[in-house]
Amino acid sequence: MKKKMVKKLISVSLVSVMAVSMLAACGGGSSNSDEGGASSEGDSNVLKVAAFEGGNGAEIWEKITAAFEEETGCEVELTLSSELDQVLTKNIQNGDIPDIVYYNLGQASGFTETMLKEEAVADISDVFDDELKGKMLDGILDGTAAQPYGDGKIYLAPIFYTQTGFWYNANLVGEGKEYAVPTTWDEMFELGQQAKADGRALFTYPQPGYFDATIYAMLAQAGGTDFYNKALTYDANTWTSDEGRKVLDTVAELVSSDNIWADTVSNANTDGGFKINQQAVIDGEALFMPNGSWVVGEMANSTPADYEWGVMGVPKWSADEDQAVYTFTEQMWIPADAANIDLAKEFIKFMYSDTVVDLCLANKTTNAETGEESDSPIVVPVKGAADKLPDGVIKSSFQTGDDVVAVTGTWATTAPIEGLDMKGSVYGPIDSISNGAMTVDEWQKQLVDVWEQCANAME
Amino acid sequence: MNRKRSQGRFVFFCIAPAAILVTLFIFIPTINVFRMSLYRMGGITNRKEFVGLNNFKSLIADKNFLQAMQNSIAIIVLVTLCTVFFAILFAAILSRGKFKGKNFFRVIFYIPNILSIVVIAGIFGAIYNPSTGLLNTFLNAIGLGSLAHQWMGDEKIVLYSVIFALVWQAIGYYMVMYMASMAAIPQDLYEAASLDGATEIQMFFRVTLPLVWSNIRTTLTFYIISTINLSFLFVQIMSDGGPNGHSEVFLNYMYKQAYGAGVYGYGMAIGVVVFIFSFALAAIVNKITEREVLEF
């Protein structure tokens, strides 16, 4: 009887320990979040910087924040993560809001776009006074990449930039090489026939989403700046106009089976497959692809020592037109509920100072696999920064000149639209056109529908 | 009376932890999904707007969702049919057949289940690669180059490529389950059948299949639930729904809408539809496969 009693007591106590410890665990969770909430009110001398850890490496952010601390005497709390969207979503829901965020538009998570749609990003127009505007590249603040609602107010600070275009294998293409660099689409497609005869393909693309910069540049090339800006804010005639149709037809010809590297679509959708497509250019199986200067570092591990990259603007329809070059910017922004908005604005101004410009140009990254350190300069969009780059393909990717028109911006931010995947609807059909499963007419119709939905959702 | 009371208390304390855990981690989150599906929200900040059933109305008109739904149903049906067929076939051969290396085959069939999804996707990446992949290289080597395809690039084939990987992965697991219940069938039933002159095939249909039927019924529910979940993981790594949405499944679409398109509430509405769909499908399948339970 006694034994039974002891057994019972033991089991009851074990069960209660389990129940209590579980409840304690839950309680612990909520008290943590309270602490987070309290700390968000913050000390006015502590700046919480949250930065995406991507191709530029982590070190640059440590250097920039250290320089800012030295200059202003404040303390910077730096959060670096390659999954910043997930970290911040959790923190923001717990009331722990960073003062400043470096996270670009156009990422798969759509984090910045969602923050914009929720109207949770602060207006920072006053940061860009005449002095700062004068220092910055012309036009860099005018597009929808800085003014996402197209209302004349700046919400996103373009802190770094790179110019995009078609990247090629300079061992095969260039002066005195097997193939000449084309400037017009006619020359490009003639080159395609020549390449085909040699068993090579003219073109490949890492993923259909890489066509964003290409289509932006082509729209500006085809219809000029006004047409381009109207297209970004969903003008109904964008795709039915001659200019819009010309863009679609040209893309369709570029990715047709005559010109495209046959494995492109298969690789474009598999995990990590975009690198196989990029490798095809290095291996000489395809000649051109749309990309940005990050491709040099991204493919460094599998690039032979004697290989040379080349870059050119997206071809034009006629040789005497100006060359439209799409400028890809990286964005920094302040959450509307940040505790330290004034200090955060100071930080944004600091991003354009000579100190940061020089730190960025001297940036180096370390290859995680080989441990090798290599130059990885980042360019701040202030006048003269790109001129300080060392000679090489990265410098040549920053095209300047009287006949170059820099194009910037992204499709304008609308109110949330249920069931719309912007990237999938605009660029996804390129896969189907390449396969022959979709016609240009069908693509055009789809785009017209998407533009109508977006125009209705513009505020 | 006192004893009954203390017994009642004991039972209460035994059940309480599980009941609290289930409520906290299953019931409350599920109810939350239903609640959030009625809001328009981005999921990052706490801003939200009540929109009633609007998310569900948009869902009915959403072509991309309907395509994902269609693909998911095709995957569930084909994966279930193929896996049941092959798993029962191999289980019957391995448990009734008399040949060497039965255990070896059992292990071989089970291996895909031990591998993580990422490894499996890597393996199939290497199999389906159009230039260097095993499949096309093999077809070219045996002179059937005309059958080589862009397995992950052709819109008409991509869904079947994913289905093949899912079946390959699932067979071993279900085969082991069927073998366990086949092993429990007493040998004398087979002896009696063979005395009556029944062939192996007749014995399979008259003895084995009826006696493992309740096991098969249980696994049908597993097929539905695990295929819905695994197809999301496979598609996310193997094709991300591409090319142009032709291998999209509803959970991957839900993920993209909730976490990429800034319409978290809409994503939750898709979650609600998937939840109801899988429950209903499991119930229907359970009902139509109901037979009198045979015992031995």
B-chain residues near A84 (CB < 8 A): none
Is residue B52 assigned to a domain? Answer: no
Check residue A8 and give its pLDDT: 58
Same domain, A204 and A286: yes
Same domain, A111 and A226: no
Establish if B243 touches chain A: CB-CB under 8 angstroms: yes
> How many domains does the structure of chain A reveal?
2
Contact: B262, A117; criterion CB under 8 Å: yes
Is residue A449 assigned to a domain? Answer: yes
Same domain, A154 and A201: no
Establish if B125 touches chain A: CB-CB under 8 angstroms: yes
The strand pairing partners of A323, in sequence order, are A404
pLDDT band for position B191 (cuts 50, 70, 90): very high
Is residue A113 assigned to a domain? Answer: yes
Is residue B50 assigned to a domain? Answer: no
pLDDT digits (tens, 9 = 90+) for B115-152: 988 899 889 988 999 988 999 999 999 999 899 999 99
Same domain, A216 and A310: yes
Contact: A435, B153; criterion CB under 8 Å: yes
- CA–CA separation, A44 vs B214, rounded Å? 67
Same domain, A193 and A339: no
Is residue B7 assigned to a domain? Answer: no
Same domain, A107 and A239: no
- CA–CA separation, A221 vs A242, rounded Å? 13
Quick one: which H or E segment has residue A16?
A: helix A2-41
Establish if B32 touches chain A: CB-CB under 8 angstroms: no
Counting Cα atoms < 13 Å in the Cβ hemisphere of A52 gives 19
Q: What count of CB pairs under 8 Å joins A to B?
A: 164
Per-residue pLDDT of chain A (459 residues; tens, 9 = 90+): 455 555 655 555 554 444 444 444 433 333 333 333 334 445 678 999 999 988 788 889 999 999 999 999 999 999 999 999 999 999 998 889 999 999 999 888 889 999 998 889 999 999 999 999 999 988 889 888 899 988 889 999 999 998 889 999 999 999 889 999 999 999 999 999 999 999 999 999 999 999 999 999 999 999 998 999 999 999 999 999 999 999 999 999 999 999 999 999 999 988 888 999 999 999 999 999 999 888 887 888 889 989 999 999 999 999 988 899 998 899 999 999 999 999 999 999 999 999 999 999 988 877 767 777 777 889 999 988 888 888 877 787 787 767 788 888 899 988 889 999 888 899 999 999 998 999 999 999 999 999 999 999 986
Is residue A342 assigned to a domain? Answer: yes
Choose the final residue of a domain: A311, A341, A361: A361
The strand pairing partners of A173, in sequence order, are A179
Is residue B121 assigned to a domain? Answer: yes
Is residue B21 assigned to a domain? Answer: no
Same domain, A349 and A318: no
Is residue A27 assigned to a domain? Answer: no
Say yes or no to pLDDT of B207 above 80.
Answer: yes
B-chain residues near A428 (CB < 8 A): 242-245
Domain that holds residue A289: 164-327+400-456
Check residue A4 and give its pLDDT: 59
Q: Virtual CA dihedral for B283, B285, B289, B290, nearest 10 degrees?
A: 0
Domain that holds residue B277: 62-288
Same domain, A451 and A354: no
Burial class (CB in 10 A: 0-12, 13-18, 19+), A320: exposed
Contact: A93, B46; criterion CB under 8 Å: yes
Q: How far is B117 from chain A (nearest CA, A)?
A: 12
What CATH number does the domain containing A416 carry?
A: 3.40.190.10
Is residue A420 assigned to a domain? Answer: yes
* Mean per-residue pLDDT of chain B: 92
Same domain, A50 and A95: yes
> How many domains does the structure of chain B reveal?
1
pLDDT digits (tens, 9 = 90+) for B73-83: 999 999 999 99
What CATH number does the domain containing B208 carry?
A: 1.10.3720.10
Is residue A1 assigned to a domain? Answer: no
Same domain, A323 and A435: yes
Interfacial A residues in 117-156 facing B (CB < 8 Å): 117-120
Among B39, B44, B59, the residue to mutate for chain A (most A Cβ within 10 A):
B44
Same domain, A211 and A131: no
Is residue B23 assigned to a domain? Answer: no
CB B17, CB A24: distance < 8 Å: no
Q: What's this model's pTM, rounded to 2 decimal places?
A: 0.85
Contact: A26, B24; criterion CB under 8 Å: yes
Is residue A273 assigned to a domain? Answer: yes
Is residue B16 assigned to a domain? Answer: no
Q: At what angle do helices B63-96 and B250-259 cross, to 10 degrees?
A: 140
A-chain residues near B259 (CB < 8 A): 109-110
Q: What is the DSSP string of A434-456?
A: HHTSS-HHHHHHHHHHHHHHHHH
CB A288, CB B266: distance < 8 Å: no
Contact: A118, B13; criterion CB under 8 Å: no
Is residue B269 assigned to a domain? Answer: yes
Same domain, A410 and A349: no
